[in-house]
Amino acid sequence: MLDGVTPRIGVLALQGDVREHTHALAACGAEPVAVRRESELAAVDGLVLPGGESTAISKLLEVFELLEPLRQRLRDGMPAYGSCAGMILLANEVLDTRPDMHTLNGIDMTVRRNAFGRQVDSFETDLEFAGLDDGPVRAVFIRAPWVERAGADVEVLARVPSGPAAGTIVAVRQGNVLATSFHPEVTGDLRVHRLFVETLVRPRAGV
């Protein structure tokens, strides 16, 4: 909380790890709000798109009539943060996915779905994350995507440091929109969520 005012940040609650993001946002001084309807989307200062199944969330956005309203709010500058499946949804191009999947065009990037492999290939590593103090971020990758192309206006925040995927882009920001391949909501490290709340949401929300 800052100066007694709390930003309202939605968590897209159609599928995925909604509860973990809700807890992280509350711990950062925000008021988390489950978003399933257009009216709920219209009432928040920013939105988190959680990890889960990107194609399922894409379909549910249509079913709940949220696809176009969410695209419009992003065009209007609403801050957003997507982790894992959320990163996929925020891209304007996705590789290795269904042809009928809908993206939100929130970040000028090409993302490869399940780039690191299947569930059994999940792993953890430490990442240097631009803009975050107090050492590297412990990153948990679960059927994670990676960024194959980042547009000219996209800031690369983190890359895989070593191994077969060394140098791969796994965290980006463009304007008010942030995305990570990994799941900071499951580690107890609040720095990525705090970056979103304090640097992206508060200034725009005027709180």
The pLDDT of residue 2 is 41
> What is the pLDDT at residue 119?
57
DSSP character for 29? T
Q: How many Cα atoms are found within 13 Å in the side-chain-facing hemisphere of 173?
A: 14
The whole-model pTM stands at 0.94
Q: Over its length of 207 residues, how does the chain's per-residue pLDDT go in tens digits?
A: 344 579 999 999 999 889 999 999 999 999 999 999 999 999 999 999 999 999 999 999 999 999 999 999 999 999 999 999 999 999 999 998 888 889 999 999 999 998 886 654 578 899 999 999 999 999 999 889 999 999 999 999 999 998 888 999 999 999 999 999 999 999 999 999 999 999 999 988 765
The predicted pLDDT at position 107 comes to 98
- Determine the pLDDT at residue 1: 37
Can you state the angle between helices 54-63 and 67-75, rounded to 10 degrees?
100
pLDDT of residue 13: 97
Cβ(47)–Cβ(179) under 8 Å?
no
Catalytic residues: 84, 183, 185
Beta strands in 27-176 (DSSP E): 31-35, 46-49, 80-83, 91-95, 107-112, 123-127, 137-141, 146-150, 155-159, 169-174
Domain topology for 8-205? Rossmann fold (3.40.50)
